C-alpha cells in the first residue's frame, strides 16, 4: 500500500507510527478486549489514556503548574466564542489583532458576546501578507485580553516573536502551529488549538489556560461553556471525544520519542527552508505573496504565473503521489502545509519536484 505524500492543510498528515499503534490496538486496548471507543470514559483503561495525553501536553510544552490543560470538543471555532464568553465581562473590552481570516472569524464571534476593538490589522497589506510590528499595535492597557492567531493557515504568515502586551493576558489561537517549537507558556493567559493540524484528529481542541483566569471567568453562562466546569472535572464533565484523545496521546508520544519540541523545531525549520529556497531561486517562476520576515514555517504559500500553470503543477504533483497542495479557496495559488507529521523526506521530494517542474 502506498501512502500519499500529504500536504493537506487540515485535517492533515498524522505520524505513521501513531496510526499504526491505533491499528494495532484497535480491537484490543492493552488486553481489555475492547477498542478505546468501546470503553467507559469513567473506567481505568480510558482514564489512563486521558491522563497521559494531558501529561504529555504539560511535559512537551513545559506548562507551568498554575495552568490547566483542557481537552474540549467543538474545535477551535467553539473557542472563538468560549474565550469572550468566559474572559470578557460586561464593562470591559478585548483587543483583537487581525492577521488573517481565522482572526477575523474570532473577532466577529467575540463581537456577538461583548465589546471588542481591533488593535491592528494587516488586511490591506497584500491581504494579510505580513504580521504587524510592535509599534503599530494600538493596545488598550485595560483590555480584558489581547487575541492573536499565532500562525495564519490561509495567508501563510506566522508570528515569529510574540507581541508585548504588558500585563494584559495574551490569548493565542495556535491551531496550526502549536508544538512546532518550544514556547514560553507563561507569556500567555490562554492558548487554544483545534487538534487536526499538528496534534491529532478533528473533533478535539486543546486549551491551556491560567488558573486565575478560569477562576475569575464568568459563571452566568451555560455550565458546559465555562472553563471552570472542565477544569474542575479534569475534562471529564461529560463524555469526551475518547478516540480523539487517544490519538492525541499517540501523536504526542511519538513527538516525545522523536526528541520533543526542540528537536521538531530543527526539522521544521529545515523543511520550510527547503521550500522557500526553491521559491527564492533566481527567476520569478514561483512567487511568495508573503513578506519574508513573516513567512510561516507551517504553511508555505506560493503562486505560479497563470491558473493553467497552477493546474498543471497540481496534476503533475498528484502523479508523484503528492496531495493537498491547492491553496485555500479564498486566496488561490498553492499551499504546502508542512506540519510536524510531514517528514523531511516528503518535503525534499516536493522541493525536487518544484525544481523539476520549473525546468
Ligand X SMILES: *Cc1c(COP(=O)(O)O)cnc(C)c1O
Binding residues vs ligand X (CB under 6 A) = 10, 75-77, 102, 149, 153, 173, 175-176, 194, 197
Strands (DSSP E) along the chain, which ranges? 5-6, 67-72, 93-98, 115-121, 146-149, 151-152, 157-158, 170-173, 190-194, 205-210, 299-302, 322-323, 334-337
Specify burial of residue 93 (Cβ count, 10 A radius: 0-12, 13-18, 19+): middle
β partners of residue 336: 300
CB of 172 to ligand X, least distance (A): 10
Distance CA 306, CA 9 (A): 22
By beta-carbon proximity to ligand X, the closer residue of 149 and 354 is 149
Q: For 57-69, give one letter per residue: b (16+ CB within 10 A) or e.
A: bbebbebeeebbb
Residue 102 catalytic?
A: yes
Residue 187 catalytic?
A: no
| CB neighbour list of residue 132: distance below 8 Å, 6 or more residues apart | 97, 99, 120, 121, 122
| Tally of residues, the chain | 359
CB of 100 to ligand X, least distance (A): 7
Q: How many CB atoms lie within 10 A of CB 303?
A: 20
Identify which of 67, 78, 86, 66 has the alpha carbon closest to the alpha carbon of residue 209.
Answer: 67
Q: How many CB atoms lie within 10 A of CB 271?
A: 26
Residue of 95, 102, 159, 177 marked active site: 102
Helix (H, G, I), strand (E, B) or coil at 353: helix
By beta-carbon proximity to ligand X, the closer residue of 17 and 118 is 118
Q: How many CB atoms lie within 10 A of CB 352?
A: 13
CB of 194 to ligand X, least distance (A): 3
194: left (phi over 0), alpha (psi -120 to 50) or beta: beta
* Residue whose Cβ sits closest to ligand X: 75
By beta-carbon proximity to ligand X, the closer residue of 129 and 278 is 129
Residue of 68, 177, 197, 271 marked active site: 197
Residue of 68, 95, 173, 253 marked active site: 173
CB of 332 to ligand X, least distance (A): 18
Distance CA 353, CA 359 (A): 10
By beta-carbon proximity to ligand X, the closer residue of 51 and 73 is 73
By beta-carbon proximity to ligand X, the closer residue of 102 and 353 is 102
CB of 10 to ligand X, least distance (A): 5
By beta-carbon proximity to ligand X, the closer residue of 114 and 194 is 194
CB of 156 to ligand X, least distance (A): 11
Q: Which residues are catalytic?
A: 102, 173, 197
Amino acid at each position: 500500500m502506498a501512502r500519499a505524500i500529504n500536504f493537506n492543510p487540515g485535517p492533515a498528515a498524522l505520524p505513521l507510527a501513531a496510526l499504526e499503534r491505533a491499528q494495532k490496538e484497535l480491537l484490543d486496548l492493552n488486553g481489555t478486549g475492547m477498542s478505546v471507543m468501546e470503553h467507559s470514559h469513567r473506567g481505568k483503561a480510558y482514564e489512563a489514556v486521558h491522563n497521559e495525553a494531558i501529561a504529555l501536553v504539560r511535559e512537551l510544552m513545559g506548562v507551568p503548574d498554575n495552568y490547566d490543560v483542557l481537552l474540549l470538543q467543538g474545535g477551535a471555532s467553539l473557542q472563538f466564542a468560549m474565550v469572550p464568553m468566559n474572559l470578557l465581562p460586561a464593562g470591559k473590552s478585548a483587543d483583537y489583532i487581525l492577521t488573517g481570516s481565522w482572526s477575523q472569524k474570532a473577532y466577529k464571534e467575540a463581537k456577538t458576546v461583548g465589546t471588542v476593538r481591533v488593535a491592528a490589522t494587516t488586511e490591506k497589506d497584500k491581504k494579510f501578507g505580513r504580521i504587524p510590528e510592535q509599534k503599530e499595535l494600538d493596545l488598550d492597557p485595560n483590555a480584558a485580553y489581547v487575541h492573536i492567531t499565532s500562525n495564519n493557515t490561509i495567508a501563510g504568515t506566522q508570528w515569529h516573536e510574540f507581541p508585548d502586551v504588558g500585563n494584559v493576558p495574551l490569548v493565542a489561537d495556535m491551531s496550526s502551529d502549536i508544538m512546532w517549537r518550544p514556547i514560553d507558556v507563561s507569556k500567555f493567559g490562554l492558548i487554544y488549538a483545534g487538534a487536526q493540524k499538528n496534534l491529532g484528529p478533528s473533533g478535539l481542541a486543546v486549551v491551556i489556560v491560567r488558573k486565575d483566569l478560569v477562576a475569575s471567568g464568568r459563571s452566568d453562562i451555560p455550565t458546559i461553556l465555562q472553563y471552570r466546569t472542565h477544569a474542575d472535572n479534569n475534562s471529564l464533565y461529560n463524555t469526551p471525544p475518547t478516540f480523539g484523545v487517544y490519538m492525541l496521546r499517540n501523536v504526542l508520544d511519538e513527538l516525545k520519542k522523536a526528541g520533543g519540541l526542540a528537536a521538531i523545531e530543527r526539522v521544521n525549520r529545515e523543511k520550510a527552508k527547503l521550500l522557500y529556497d526553491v521559491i527564492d531561486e533566481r527567476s520569478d517562476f514561483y512567487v511568495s505573496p508573503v513578506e519574508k520576515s513573516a513567512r510561516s514555517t507551517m504553511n508555505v504559500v506560493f503562486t505560479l504565473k497563470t491558473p493553467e500553470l497552477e493546474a498543471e503543477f497540481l496534476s503533475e504533483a498528484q502523479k508523484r503521489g503528492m496531495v493537498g497542495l491547492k491553496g485555500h479557496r479564498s486566496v488561490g495559488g498553492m499551499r504546502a502545509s508542512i506540519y510536524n507529521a510531514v517528514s523531511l523526506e516528503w518535503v525534499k521530494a516536493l522541493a525536487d519536484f518544484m525544481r523539476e517542474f520549473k525546468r
